[in-house]
Structure 1
């Protein structure tokens, strides 16, 4: 029993390896890498941010609540690093304001003012061409003895419808045979010459025949001034075409009898027997193509003025 009490006691200790410090270093390294990434990201943002945005960032960190509530640079600015207070609806990207939906691209259409200016320029150029034609005809009348002797019977003027050329009768020199639609030789010569000039212009032509108020003995039932004026207008049309005018240029050929008198004060005045040729401007042409086209009417005062100027030439 005594021997058993003196047996040695052996205590076994397990020695753990102490070559490593566990996984604590991994956490520290991860924190270091994260800090470095944050640092380089901050450096990149500071280097690529405009000066105004930097001021907004600084303002945000000074008073973040104020900036967030009031908005402005650094909070509502869509280009700011820190977005606070929502988008600034007053900021525009190009021509589009924030808060607006993109609309289809507008096509630049001509304004009413530009269209009116273009129309006025076209009318001015057309008027210049008509005045040049008037001058050419007047020069041809003066240069040719066969026409110069009839210059008192040729009245040229510019009206609201265009260039008007009127060939009027004189007491002792009528354009047509008495009560007939037969052209006198000199009248035909005048029309042949005018037809040559008219073909040089692109404008359309209006042609009307007129008589005085002297009635036919047979009255209105058979052959009246209406038929006579229409036949004389057509006889003049054939002479103009023979002179070189393209027939497709004619827009209107009418006989007006004595309805539109040249001299309203004297319906029987020989000057009322006339052929009126109008080189129409664009506006008059468009009006004639529609229902209700108008015909230029000359007043008695204009008649006396034109006859006086014709006699002075």
Structure 2
């Protein structure tokens, strides 16, 4: 059977239509945001550890310490498992401190764990130190030290106690060339012995010297500073100071200069420390 070859073939073209919709996956954005947040928290923690003191860090830790128990009935645990804080009054002795704020040890009193009574005693001691300073220097009236002697004295209160520094000047030494005390030092010792009667604190006598030239075969600074400390102790005792109140004598040589120039005459000095009793 013959066909008509003049009819064009029919071509069917199928077109696939893709309808775009929704996002192409955004889970990575959430993960990245979590990562950035974690890094910010980490760097904030590192900054806090570096920029705060131990006391401030304890305060921050206490702020985040839960104070309300999760359950009233214990699950059998004790200590931290039972909801106790490591800073609790009954937990401190078990974590190595050996004392608490209600029962402090002597070595912990300077760490802020002293009882109210001890705090009052410490304040009274500070007041006694101020009275000694004012009496010596005449800040509140007549001074025990004359103008001639006052220029050799500096006082300051430190963690160790009341420090009274006696130093030489270019025109007035405290020791003669042969090591004997000058009249100025004898007068200073008499005044300090009298001022020491105002308190009962033990004292420490510390000797300091200026540096000696390096051309010397041996450095006499240690022996000289020790000799000067001992000489001043003897002067105090001669003026009625109780020898038993001298708790220690220390030779510092030229290791702790008062001036930047180690050979400065100002570095020749004695430090008498009224030691704290609390």
TM-score, length of structure 2 as denominator length = 0.56
CA distance in 2: counterparts of 1:113 and 1:233, whole angstroms: 41
Deviation at 1:111, TM superposition (A): 7.4
Tell which structure's C-alpha radius of gyration is larger: 1
The answer to whether the 8 A contact 1:194-1:243 is kept is: no
Q: Against the structure 1 CA distance between its residues 149 and 124, is the aligned structure 2 distance closer, same or farther, given a 3 Å change threshold?
A: same
The residue aligned with 2:51 is: none
1:275 is matched with which residue? 270
1:194/1:213 CA distance change after superposition, 3 Å: same
After superposition, the C-alpha distances for 1:236-292 in whole angstroms (9 at most, x for unaligned) are 1111111221110000111111011111x2111111000100101125xxxxxxxxx
Correspondence for 2:231: 235
Q: Distance in 1 between matches of 2:175 and 2:120?
A: 41
Q: Does residue 266 of the first structure (1) align with residue 255 of the second (2)? A: no
More helix by share: 1
Match of 1:209? 207
For residues 1-313 of structure 1, the aligned pairs below 5 Å read 112-113=101-102, 116-139=115-138, 143=142, 147-178=146-177, 180-215=178-213, 218-220=216-218, 224-263=220-259, 265-283=260-278
Q: Distance in 2 between matches of 1:131 and 1:146?
A: 16
Structure 1 position 118, deviation (Å): 2.0
CA contact (8 A) 2:102 2:115 kept: yes
Which 10-residue stretch deviates more, 193-202 or 227-236?
193-202
Question: Which segments of 5 or more consecutive residues in structure 1 lack a partner in the other structure?
Answer: 1-109, 284-313
Could you list the runs of 5+ residues in structure 2 that have no partner in the other structure?
Answer: 1-98, 104-113
2:198 and 2:143 map into 1 onto residues whose CA distance is 19
Aligned residues: 170
RMSD between superposed Cα atoms in Å: 2.6
Distance 1:216 1:232, change over 3 A: farther
Q: TM-score, normalised by structure 1?
A: 0.50
Give 1:232 shift: 0.6
1:181, distance to aligned residue in structure 2 (A): 2.4
Taking a change above 3 Å as real, the CA distance of residues 146 and 166 of structure 1, as seen in their structure-2 partners, is closer
